[in-house]
């Protein structure tokens, strides 16, 4: 079982660290749907029209170290995206592993 979990973790780290950099740079479905009816400039900022994204504000955590699919302070976009993916995988693995560890059945000695 341990080998299976480590193989899965290794695969997830590889996908997050390397393959995430070749993912589409197009906006996701929610971003695309929320800007229907508005005109956007080259930077993706709303310049006119009417859409549900017009009243959108910047998120409170927009200045956090892992915002916008990267790590702030790392100028290389490829490295920044890969490292943020790896950090996300490790965080999810740690939290889910902790939950499973807390919920495991305890056998009586």
Instruction: Kindly state whether residue 15 falls inside one of the protein's structural domains.
Output: yes
Dig out the tokens for 71 from the structure: 């790590």
User: Is the predicted pLDDT of residue 24 greater than 80, yes or no?
Assistant: no
Instruction: Kindly state whether residue 98 falls inside one of the protein's structural domains.
Output: yes
The pLDDT score that the predictor gives to residue 104 is 85
pLDDT digits (tens, 9 = 90+) for 51-81: 998 888 888 888 888 888 889 999 998 899 8
CB–CB of 53/40 below 8 Å?
A: no
Instruction: Kindly state whether residue 99 falls inside one of the protein's structural domains.
Output: yes
What average pLDDT does the segment 35-64 reach? 88
- Please enumerate in sequence order all residues whose Cβ is within 8 A of that of 107, keeping only pairs 6 or more positions apart, or say none: none
What average pLDDT does the segment 96-101 reach? 91
Other C-beta atoms within 10 Å of 36: how many?
Answer: 11
The mean pLDDT of the chain is: 87
The pLDDT score that the predictor gives to residue 108 is 60
Number of domains in the chain: 1
How many residues are present in the chain?
Answer: 109
Instruction: Kindly state whether residue 77 falls inside one of the protein's structural domains.
Output: yes
Instruction: Kindly state whether residue 109 falls inside one of the protein's structural domains.
Output: no
- Domain membership of residue 33 as a residue range: 7-20+27-103
What average pLDDT does the segment 39-56 reach? 88
Instruction: Kindly state whether residue 108 falls inside one of the protein's structural domains.
Output: no
Instruction: Kindly state whether residue 1 falls inside one of the protein's structural domains.
Output: no
């Amino acid at each position: 079982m341990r080998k299976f979990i480590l193989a899965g973790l290794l695969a997830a780290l590889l996908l997050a660290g390397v393959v995430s950099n070749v993912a589409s740079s197009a906006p996701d479905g929610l971003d695309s749907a929320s800007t229907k009816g508005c005109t956007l400039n080259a930077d993706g900022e709303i310049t006119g029209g009417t859409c549900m994204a017009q009243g959108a504000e910047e998120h409170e955590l927009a200045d956090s170290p892992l915002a916008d699919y990267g790590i702030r302070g790392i100028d290389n976009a490829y490295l920044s995206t890969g490292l943020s993916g790896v950090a996300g995988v490790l965080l999810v693995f740690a939290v889910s592993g902790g939950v499973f560890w807390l919920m495991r059945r305890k056998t009586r000695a």
